Structure 1
Amino acid sequence: MSKRDYYEVLGLGKDASPDEIKKAYRKMARQYHPDVNKAADAEDKFKEAKDAYDVLSDDQKKAQYDRFGHVDPNQGMGGGQDFSGGFGDIFDMFFGGGGGGNRRNPNAPQRGNDLQYTMTIEFKEAIFGKETDIHIPRTENCDTCSGSGAKPGTKPETCGTCHGSGQQEVVQNTAFGRIVNRRVCSTCNGQGKIIKEKCGTCHGAGKVKKQRTIHIKIPAGVDDGAQLRVSGEGEGGTRGGPAGDLYVVIRVKSHEFFEREGNDVYCEVPLTFMQAALGDEIEIPTLTEKVKLKIPAGTQTDTYFRLKGKGVPHLRGFGQGDQHVKVIVMTPTNLSEDQKDLLRQFGKQSGEHTHEQNQSIFERMKRAFLGD
């Protein structure tokens, strides 16, 4: 079967610029790459586009193709091509993998893992802050071998299989040419080094488990679910890389009297019938002290009073929230007959007639639902 014209394959004219050739190929590579397109002819179209791009993107090959077409003096040009890394590398180049067959250097410094620790504190400790020590189990570099994994007096040797790259190359001859696949070296497991004499403390791992004591400062005003970052207190890095960070998640216990919403606190205080009716001055606990609160005569249940500046300190240190006091009028129970008589007399003097009042309320409700 004769080959199609390379310009036709990419949908271009012969006057196409190098940038247009590259864009056309990238578009086709995205469309027909075998890892993306599962159609029966996708692989053939991908190879056809790759062959066209290999020629038209090379000035010397393009000039030769423009002159001779597919009848090329150097036959077999495509048979010995080396797709370094195979389809994987081509896919990386066009779909964000970095391209060019590049791989992470196994001997480069690596940052340590971050750690998370959940800490439960009391309600008022969250309000006013706290300093304490916590104990964190974590992985650290072995002191005996300084993290190398080798017995003191020795050092790791460069892997003879991958020569320190951490990767092996496996060559395959396929219908698309010679493909070089890179895999993790089976001799050194991708480390690039071999430890012949292992450290007796860490047994070649270069790391050991330790219990670390860390001093924590919890700022005043921290809320439930807050997360504190302690830089450099995570697990140790490898090959000289920096340590990770420690994240302390705060859980705050509930309080028997106060409830918190943001920087404000709320509480409920009972009032007797007489206090609510006649008014009074009562003592209210706040987060720091007891204060006097004036209750005006005729106060109804569920009324809120605000104590300005008696709430939670702002986490950034600017001002405080408020305390909101909800009063609940307690209905007297277990009244004696004398007390009941006094209340009846009070009701008569106030013009309160329970039965007539209930009838009046009933009539108003009836009109509201049924209309006049």
Structure 2
Amino acid sequence: MSQADWLEKDFYKVLGVSKTASIDEIKKAYRKAARTNHPDANPDDPKAEERFKAASEANEVLSDPKKRQEYDHIRELAASGGIGGLGGMRGGFPGGAGGQANFDLNDLLGSIFGDGASAPGGFGGARRTQTAARKGEDRRAEVTLSFEDALAGAEVTLRVMGTAVCQVCKGTGSKPGTRPVQCPRCNGSGMQDQNQGMFSFSQPCSNCGGRGELITDPCTNCHASGVEERARTLRVRVPAGVSDGQTIRLKGKGEAGRGGGKAGDLYVKVHVADHPVMRRKGDHLTMTLPVTFAEAALGGKVTVPTLDGPVTLKIPAGTESGRTMRVRGRGAPRDSGGFGDLLVTVQVTVPPKLTKTQKKLVEEFAAMDDSNPRAHLDEMLTGGSS
């Protein structure tokens, strides 16, 4: 789904929430919409799948603070005419066919040839500028989530040690109040031409190391490196449905790059705490439900806890211990949208001690019960003879 689609889709209306709704309100509305419109629950409604997909799209954008901010900004611009109204984005490009906003040709070239680079040779004979930029190192961290937060998604705070952009010079490497000067040898291009007979080639400037500039008054805090060693506090959004042991990659959240290079990535390994009742099995959740002998024999309705609140489960008469029943849509989030199921396994419990009245009633029942659950074992013991 491209950002051009955002102009035509009111995700707040799809989920039935206000524009000021909190993340928790959005999640709750999505889970309700997903359960209501799930194709399995609406076999006779051909439009249910369409509504289900629309709710998934809306949740994907509105539950992500960054995407939600971009979505709100784009629609506000459209409402004010800043991008030519709803027709201001054509084919995914702002300002196409009647729009007023323009895209930067350099951005388009950068997407083809890499960040910070124009086409080889450039337009109008301009030469591509090389720098001695180095990407920052990747970092690793670990976080432990509760069972509920792992399924619902959560925002956590991480404290990461490593290099970061120098707070004094803001990454320039120069003392505050000063600026690097253009390298006189390469005239700021960062490259030197070397002639070898009928061939010539370019290499990074030996004077500035390919930066195109020289630091004449270095920052005393980072010694011209532009980075410093310190602890950073990051707010990290962990997606809903993350599994125990899963690693999440956060692009650009690792150590700072040097010489204007990109930051490295941060890899966060997630640990999920156990739940007192439930366990996870792929997209499904499992639990054991204790029931009395009377409930199993006579049947009835019992209350079962789920992560979204209690539900009522019907126990058929004659239910045996170990039978598993399914509560649809109350499991873990699926990558494709929607939710798995809650698998409830019945466990018939036996009272450790009976009152005199209970014991008498059980004895009367046993006297009238002519069933033999061990008949197949008796045949094995007697060799099949009667």
Q: Normalising by structure 1, what TM-score?
A: 0.54
Q: CA–CA distance in 2 between the matches of 1:361 and 1:290?
A: 40
Are residue 126 (structure 1) and residue 153 (structure 2) matched?
Answer: no
The residue number in structure 2 matching 1:223 is: 243
The residue number in structure 1 matching 2:380 is: 365
Compared CA separation, residues 138 and 351, structure 1 to 2 (3 A): same
Deviations 1:245-293 (A, max 9, x none): 1222221111001101111000111111111111111111111021111
> Which amino acid letter does the alignment assign opposite residue 317 of structure 2?
A
Q: CA deviation at 1:297?
A: 1.0
Q: CA–CA distance in 1 between the matches of 2:378 and 2:269?
A: 58
> Which amino acid letter does the alignment assign opposite residue 162 of structure 2?
R
> Which amino acid letter does the alignment assign opposite residue 255 of structure 2?
E
The residue number in structure 1 matching 2:312 is: 292
Number of matched residues? 234
Choose from 355, 359, 362 the match for 1:336: 355
Are residue 326 (structure 1) and residue 326 (structure 2) matched?
Answer: no
Q: CA–CA distance in 1 between the matches of 2:131 and 2:338?
A: 52
Q: CA–CA distance in 1 between the matches of 2:248 and 2:376?
A: 57
Gaps in structure 2 of 5+ consecutive residues: 1-129, 184-212
Alignment of structure 1 residues 1-372 onto 2, 5 Å: 108-144=132-168, 199-203=219-223, 206-316=226-336, 318-351=337-370, 363-367=378-382
Q: CA deviation at 1:131?
A: 2.3
Compared CA separation, residues 202 and 341, structure 1 to 2 (3 A): same
Compared CA separation, residues 294 and 151, structure 1 to 2 (3 A): closer
SS class of match (1:125) = helix
Q: Normalising by structure 2, what TM-score?
A: 0.52
SS class of match (1:326) = strand
The residue number in structure 2 matching 1:5 is: none
Q: CA–CA distance in 2 between the matches of 1:332 and 1:142?
A: 68
Q: CA–CA distance in 2 between the matches of 1:121 and 1:144?
A: 35
Q: CA deviation at 1:151?
A: 6.1
Deviations 1:213-244 (A, max 9, x none): 32222222222222222221111111221111
| Residue pair 2:147, 2:274 contacting (<8 A) in 1 also | yes
Which has the larger displacement, 272-281 or 142-151? 142-151
SS class of match (1:340) = helix
Q: CA deviation at 1:143?
A: 4.2
SS class of match (1:214) = strand
Compared CA separation, residues 199 and 339, structure 1 to 2 (3 A): same
| Residue pair 1:268, 1:325 contacting (<8 A) in 2 also | yes
Q: CA deviation at 1:119?
A: 1.2
Compared CA separation, residues 342 and 371, structure 1 to 2 (3 A): closer
Which has the larger displacement, 235-244 or 336-345? 336-345
Compared CA separation, residues 322 and 119, structure 1 to 2 (3 A): same
Q: CA–CA distance in 1 between the matches of 2:382 and 2:231?
A: 75
Q: CA deviation at 1:194?
A: 11
SS class of match (1:243) = coil
Q: CA–CA distance in 2 between the matches of 1:361 and 1:206?
A: 80
Which has the larger displacement, 325-334 or 144-153? 144-153
The residue number in structure 1 matching 2:75 is: none
Compared CA separation, residues 350 and 131, structure 1 to 2 (3 A): same
SS class of match (2:331) = coil
Compared CA separation, residues 371 and 199, structure 1 to 2 (3 A): farther
The residue number in structure 2 matching 1:167 is: none
Q: CA–CA distance in 1 between the matches of 2:385 and 2:136?
A: 75
SS class of match (1:275) = helix
Q: CA–CA distance in 1 between the matches of 2:319 and 2:159?
A: 52
Percent identity, aligned pairs only?
35
> Which amino acid letter does the alignment assign opposite residue 324 of structure 1?
L
Compared CA separation, residues 211 and 371, structure 1 to 2 (3 A): farther
